Amino acid sequence: MRASCGKRAGLCGLAILVALSGCRQKQGPESSAPMAITTSSGIEMVLIPGGSFRMGGVAGNDDEKPVHTVWLAPFWMDRYEVVQEEFRKYQISDPSHFKGTRQPLEQINWTDAALYCNERSLAEGLEPCYDEDTWACNFDANGYRLPTEAEWEYACRAGTTSDYSFGNSVAQLNDYAWHAANSGATTHPVGQKKPNPWGLYDMHGNVAEWCNDRYAKDYYGASPGENPRGPDEGQERVLRGGAWNSSPESCRSAYRASDPAIDDTCLANDAIGFRCVRNGPRETPGAGSKQGVAAGATRQASGGEIMASGSKSKTGFVCHDIYLEHKTTPGHPESPRRLAAITERLKAGGLDAQLVHLAPEPAPEKWLRTIHDARYIERARRACAEGDAILDTGDNPISTKSYDAAVMAAGGVLTAVDAVMEGRVANAFCAVRPPGHHALADRAMGFCMFNNVAIGTRYVQQQYDLAKVLIVDWDVHHGNGTQATFYDDPSVLYFSVHQYPFYPGTGTESETGRGKGLNTTINVPLPAGSDDSDYLEAFEKKLRPAAVAFAPDFVFVSAGFDAHENDTLGGMRVTTDCFGKLTRIVKGIAEQFCKGRIVSVLEGGYGLEDLAASVETHLRVLMD
Ligand SMILES: [Zn+2]
């Protein structure tokens, strides 16, 4: 059967932009199954852990020998073969012979499978792996690609050494695979048979799957031991897993095939489909893997070194006397005493001497204007200069120096970004006032004048050409200003966990972004009384998978400590210790994706003693 070669232009001409996912974690079929996510386009992927296995078959065909040990870096793999409804999202005519929305795509030639990988990468803001002229695969890109043959067999085996992922019994194959004896001479919707131990379906049978590698019969004799990628030359590409028309023999885990009919990669038959993979989280060097694997696994798309785990991080600290000159009304919770409590605590505990003190400068108005209207900036300046008592609403009391403090607060964040980006520090904490996450483009709100974190975000994107920024906001209040700023922006993943219902009234779970920014806002509203376990669950189950899929280039924390159990405004039951655990999770994400780059910025937190203790805990983890 022939598949059209004309799809390429159609595929390439698409300009679909699907915002990158907020993903939800799914439980695998077994408790020991690897972590899984669902991408924004609804595709389930399983995290295949890095490790080694014995590749090939002792009793198999000649091309399965010699059996040899292969080391692989971790990767994500589609739980199912790519199905027709998924392919049709790209408005491409479906080449499949056996039609059905959940049936595997087939009659797909290798080149078009690679092209699909590129389109899916682009749709999610990832770097495509394939050069569409030469079809060379860039394994350093963070987008989708076809699995290497070794990745495919490793995932199929899922730790087993038997003929099939369930053992050696051909009789059992019916439970796991559609093959010649039970398929009725057709494909079937994916996922109907039992999965393998890692939760992957249809690894045996249904349709054979394209691998990235070129096929060579004798490749195993010369294959490198780490992340093998097949021979450089060869007309045929590898096919794995067997199909609806296969014998049990050719559904084996080690069975290797190629399509002998293929000499120009532009032929395909109705027993051939594919599934995609993507590079997994990078490991830290020396984390137990062999040296070469670790090095391969830790290579950064943007280059540069990685913070060695176990070494102390240099942590920057921004504070300035002008922040104390922003005077609120007597009895107002957002008082200068907050910063005094923090700095005194750090000195008393000896932390102050270990921090790298960064002297802030006022933010140039150019950067304020990336977030705020010029007229609002001027209005705020004049209100302070003229001695007004409040700005916009009664909860924003101001003094004559408040504007200068606010400009320096935003400037402090820019200073911290510079220090991190220049490598002078690994991460930084900004003890600034007034806070920022409620501030809107044209209005002060909730003790906030300028949105410090939002301004920092635009700064790091524009000044340092970084594409994707993750903002983690654990203040007890929803950061409505930050959300509004980036609501339709797919380059910023805004994650907020907060008390709800509560001030400012926004932050429901259904607020997920808009337009291109759909699914790059994630809200976790929690009822009053929520505790450490609720926060940790939100971070583990909602933040981490979404961050992994997003792969940030930089991380900001809107660090409010008013979810503390003793806070005077918030109604949550978070302990001091928990802020360290939350920090640890965010730090893990930053180390995995962006060399540990974190700038954390103080938002709320009103019980002085507990605020200071929580900041200290937060800093101790940042400095770890
Ligand atoms: Zn707050």
89 phi-psi bin (left φ>0, alpha ψ -120 to 50, beta other): alpha
Supply the pLDDT for residue 281.
75
Question: How far is the centre of ligand 1, averaged over its atoms, from the C-alpha of 236 (Å)?
Answer: 60
Supply the pLDDT for residue 5.
37
Range 535-557 average pLDDT: 95
Domains and CATH numbers, the chain: 11-307 (3.90.1580.10), 315-325+333-360+424-623 (3.40.800.20)
Range 491-510 average pLDDT: 97
State both tokens at 221.
């004799």
Question: How far is the centre of ligand 1, averaged over its atoms, from the C-alpha of 395 (Å)?
Answer: 13
Question: How far is the centre of ligand 1, averaged over its atoms, from the C-alpha of 503 (Å)?
Answer: 9
Question: How far is the centre of ligand 1, averaged over its atoms, from the C-alpha of 560 (Å)?
Answer: 6
CA dihedral (145, 150, 151, 155) in degrees, to 10, reads 140
Percent of the chain with pLDDT over 70: 88
Question: How far is the centre of ligand 1, averaged over its atoms, from the C-alpha of 436 (Å)?
Answer: 10
Question: How far is the centre of ligand 1, averaged over its atoms, from the C-alpha of 546 (Å)?
Answer: 23
Question: How far is the centre of ligand 1, averaged over its atoms, from the C-alpha of 304 (Å)?
Answer: 36
CB atoms inside a 10 Å sphere around CB 29: 17
How far apart are the C-alpha atoms of 612 and 327, rounded to whole Å? Answer: 20
How far apart are the C-alpha atoms of 114 and 136, rounded to whole Å? Answer: 10
Question: How far is the centre of ligand 1, averaged over its atoms, from the C-alpha of 562 (Å)?
Answer: 6
Q: pLDDT of 153-168, one tens digit each?
A: 999 999 888 999 999 9
Question: How far is the centre of ligand 1, averaged over its atoms, from the C-alpha of 324 (Å)?
Answer: 19
191 phi-psi bin (left φ>0, alpha ψ -120 to 50, beta other): left
Supply the pLDDT for residue 178.
96
Measuring CA to CA, which residue among 350, 346, 438 is closest to residue 392? 438
Q: Is it the case that residue 602 has pLDDT exceeding 80?
A: yes
DSSP helix/strand/coil, 404: helix
Question: How far is the centre of ligand 1, averaged over its atoms, from the C-alpha of 603 (Å)?
Answer: 6
Q: How many angstroms separate the first and last alpha carbons of the chain?
A: 60
Helices (H), ranges, 422-543: 452-463, 480-485, 532-538
State both tokens at 57.
């078959």
Name the pTM for this structure: 0.55
Least confident of 122-126, 136-140, 461-465: 122-126
**Confidence category of residue 235, pLDDT binned at 50, 70, 90:** confident
Range 316-326 average pLDDT: 97
Q: pLDDT of 246-294, one tens digit each?
A: 999 999 999 999 875 443 344 458 999 999 999 987 643 333 333 332 2
Question: How far is the centre of ligand 1, averaged over its atoms, from the C-alpha of 383 (Å)?
Answer: 24
Catalytically active residues, by annotation: 438
Contact 66, 56 (CB under 8 A): yes
**Confidence category of residue 237, pLDDT binned at 50, 70, 90:** very high
How far apart are the C-alpha atoms of 190 and 277, rounded to whole Å? Answer: 17
Q: Who contacts 200 (Cβ-Cβ below 8 Å, separation ≥6)? A: 46, 77, 79, 155, 156, 158
Percent of the chain with pLDDT over 90: 76
Higher per-residue confidence, 556 vs 10: 556
Question: How far is the centre of ligand 1, averaged over its atoms, from the C-alpha of 623 (Å)?
Answer: 24
State both tokens at 335.
């008082």
Helices (H), ranges, 239-329: 291-298
